[in-house]
Structure 1
Amino acid sequence: MPLEGIKVLELARTLAGPISGQLLGDLGAEVIKVEQPEIGDESRRFIPPEWNGESCYFLSSNRNKKSITLNLKTEQGRNIIYEIIKDTDILIENFRTGATEKLGTDYQTLKKINPRLIYLSVSGFGRTGPEKYRAGYDLLLQGYSGLMSTTGELGIPYKVGPSIADMSAGILGAFGVLAALLARDKTGEGQFVDCSLLDSQIMMLNYLATSYFATGSSPEPMGQAHNSLVPYQVFKARDKNIILAVGNDSLWVKLCKAMGWGDLLEIEEYRTNQSRVANREKLVPILSERLGQLTSEEICHTLDQTGVPCGPINSVGDAVTSPQAVARNMMVEINHPIVKNLVTPAFPVKLSATPATVRQHPPLLGEHTEEVLSTLGLGKEEIAMMRREGVI
């Protein structure tokens, strides 16, 4: 596998950091997740939803990991971290800024033990700047980053349904780690990888951010429409809502010809996308009235034949059980000691020669503590004493 032989120590919890760890684990890395004794990752208690008493939140973000419990506030607990870090390639943490220094698990301390260590630090606002000490949660960063100001109706901001700030930061964190691994092959040295929810969402703004500097004005929410393309939005068919995504002038011509709307092709105001955007207030009601007379199946069948992008607004259930998602193996079944037939979203990228795999169910709290500690040369009696003393 791509990351076979790579060892990851995960000191992260909730979502962003654990997603990074899960992606690396899917690609073959050995991931050891460190959790607080008796308490564990707080996402274990993010209920509802649950499956046989287990948090769906935790189950979806922690496969391909081993779980050990360790009290990092004890000297013995820290010493175990120092021992593990000697042959660790990657460390992932998402504590508040300053917390790792107090615990003695910061990059400057650990790189003295292992100069080849790649240290991924995931935070809400980043480890530099005037707001580096602020706590960061997905909802907070969706708002702070400007994302929510572009989502929903004017004056009524909406959050994105999934935890997009956490998820994108986790994905980009793993991306940064892979780049650092390539760099280490050239230099022989590890490095500090600083990844924040804020930075990930600023990147996600993409052309909306660029347009601010171009125009001096912040983009406003467009509801279910698009500020740069027309028609590119939700329309109501006779039976249900559909998406119509006409992304260029060629598709506009195909749409009108397929639907028998030759009259619209004769109107100069609708000839180019730029002119359609300028005249959306006149064009969209015309399209809405015409599409509203047809069923969603009639519309989609006709447009699918000509290559005009259109489709239904699926529920989550419709999407994950759709023939295309099934054909793409996008849901994976995992053997779990408590949740029988556990199903979670699979690794989303298909590698032809070295595909991602699921080798380990999302671990029970501390399931692998004795296994990992024994590899450090600790005996059963010593491990039992550590348990009695609250170290593990």
Structure 2
Amino acid sequence: MILPLEGVTVVAIEQAVAAPLATRNLADLGARVIKVERVEGGDFARDYDHVVHGTGAHFVWLNRGKESIAIDLKSDEGRAVVRRLVDKADVFLQNLAPGAAERLGLGAAALRASRPELVVVNLSGYGTGGPMEQRKAYDMLVQAEAGLVSITGTPETAVKTGIPTADIASGMYCAQAVLAALLRRWRTGVGATVDVSMLDATIEWMGHAMYTQMHTGAQPPRMGLSHSSIAPYDAFPTRDGQMLIGVQNDTGWRALVGSVFSVPELADDPRFATNMQRVQHRKECDALVAEQTSQLTTAELDARLASAGVPAAQIKQLDRVVDHPQLQARNRWRRIETEHAQVDALLPPITFDDVESAMGNVPALGQHTTALLHESGLDAAAVDDIVAQGIAFQAEMFQPAPTR
């Protein structure tokens, strides 16, 4: 069987996290992704750090399965090469600064004037128009503007999330936009111009908190590991650590106090019989649960909770996540190549029953430049000339662009 996007070509002028995540998802689904990078240094994420055998962790995470062409978009020759590649592609995706694609002659209107079937996806920080259109938009800044920081952390301290949530949200919506636009094009023959904003994507994820604010007039409080409208829902002490317990309904409460703690009389205590009552008496409820959990080891409590069907989890450090028994049992790790070494990569969450996702290698900067210059229509002499002038860069570890 073939992957869903085999035969689809995507050209991306992308950097950092959001757009590369979108196109990596497409590459995993079988699309050919041509990544356009700067001659000097390439994607900024290559040098955020060098922790993966000399390659940046962000870059390894976000760029497997792509072909890299390193070319100077400030030059007429460089822009012409990219334009010709886009003219043969199905999708063009970019997250340049607002207006930059248009100044390069790569705006949606110019590209689709001759090819209305092209799908163009523009990813920006704050969207087209409005007073913030030209503002710089890093993940942390968007988290703040979207209100995510205001509900994340403890009552004493606001924090950003530990992962780039705004980048991930907008990247996922970009990938979804490409799939939806391609589906419509296959039915109608017409492409699309799609705009995705990091701010819009992140505020969309604020769902329940936004509705709470809108309909109560009250800012949802920062709850740490707890939950503003559910109890008990927090980390509780054990004899040798902590355990997260999240009782989301009254049946779960009865299972917790009856099957796990062996104090079934608490099930009908008027302070705790319903979730609303438990939230109203949260301090008393949490203290009662903590008194019980502290009598057991983490392993003992975990086993009891699992047996009773009460939602719970151990708080795992990342070393235990890498070796997570659920990942091991389901064979979720694969080996891929980077420019310096083989590394493990996690299979994407989308699992087809008849074909495995394309787990391609992580390209070196300009690894496929020469092949893509030829593909754009340049002859051998012109390719040599453009590389010699420094308009394009070819990595020493040249490998022909993969065919699909």
The aligned residue for residue 103 of structure 1 is: 104
Whether contact under 8 Å (1:85, 1:114) holds in the other structure is no
User: Deviations along 1:220-264, whole A, 9 cap, x unmatched?
Assistant: 101110011101111111111111011111111111111212231
* Equivalent position amino acid for 1:130 in 2: P
Rounded to whole Å, the distance in 2 between the matches of 1:337 and 1:137 is 28
The structural deviation recorded for 1:319 is 1.4
2:290 corresponds to 1:296: no
Whether contact under 8 Å (1:85, 1:113) holds in the other structure is no
The aligned residue for residue 377 of structure 1 is: 377
The aligned residue for residue 176 of structure 1 is: 177
The structural deviation recorded for 1:336 is 3.1
Aligned length: 389
The aligned residue for residue 51 of structure 1 is: 52
The structural deviation recorded for 1:157 is 0.5
The structural deviation recorded for 1:383 is 0.8
2:358 corresponds to 1:368: no
Rounded to whole Å, the distance in 2 between the matches of 1:125 and 1:302 is 48
Whether contact under 8 Å (1:96, 1:134) holds in the other structure is no
Whether contact under 8 Å (1:233, 1:244) holds in the other structure is yes
Structure 2 gaps of 5+ residues are: 393-404
Whether contact under 8 Å (2:5, 2:30) holds in the other structure is yes
Rounded to whole Å, the distance in 2 between the matches of 1:154 and 1:113 is 56
Secondary structure in structure 2 of the residue aligned to 1:302: helix
| Percent sequence identity over aligned pairs | 33
2:81 corresponds to 1:75: no
Whether contact under 8 Å (1:27, 1:357) holds in the other structure is yes
User: Deviations along 1:307-331, whole A, 9 cap, x unmatched?
Assistant: 1111200111211211102233433
CA RMSD of aligned residues (A): 1.4
User: Deviations along 1:68-97, whole A, 9 cap, x unmatched?
Assistant: 011111111111122112221111111111
Whether contact under 8 Å (1:2, 1:354) holds in the other structure is no
Rounded to whole Å, the distance in 2 between the matches of 1:377 and 1:131 is 40
User: Deviations along 1:354-385, whole A, 9 cap, x unmatched?
Assistant: 43121x31100000011111123322221111
TM-score (norm 1): 0.96
Distance 1:331 1:146, change over 3 A: farther
TM-score (norm 2): 0.93
The aligned residue for residue 8 of structure 1 is: 10
The structural deviation recorded for 1:273 is 0.4
Secondary structure in structure 1 of the residue aligned to 2:101: helix
The aligned residue for residue 22 of structure 2 is: 20
Rounded to whole Å, the distance in 1 between the matches of 2:305 and 2:390 is 64
Whether contact under 8 Å (1:67, 1:364) holds in the other structure is yes
* Equivalent position amino acid for 1:44 in 2: R
The aligned residue for residue 126 of structure 2 is: 125
The aligned residue for residue 32 of structure 1 is: 34
Secondary structure in structure 1 of the residue aligned to 2:251: helix
* Equivalent position amino acid for 1:275 in 2: Q
The aligned residue for residue 145 of structure 1 is: 146
The aligned residue for residue 289 of structure 2 is: 287
Whether contact under 8 Å (1:152, 1:221) holds in the other structure is yes
User: 4+ residue stretches of structure 1 with deviation over 6 A?
Assistant: none
Rounded to whole Å, the distance in 2 between the matches of 1:303 and 1:181 is 46
Query: 1:347-362, aligned counterparts within 5 Å?
Result: 347-358=348-359, 360-362=360-362
The aligned residue for residue 387 of structure 2 is: 387
The structural deviation recorded for 1:274 is 0.9
Whether contact under 8 Å (2:239, 2:296) holds in the other structure is yes
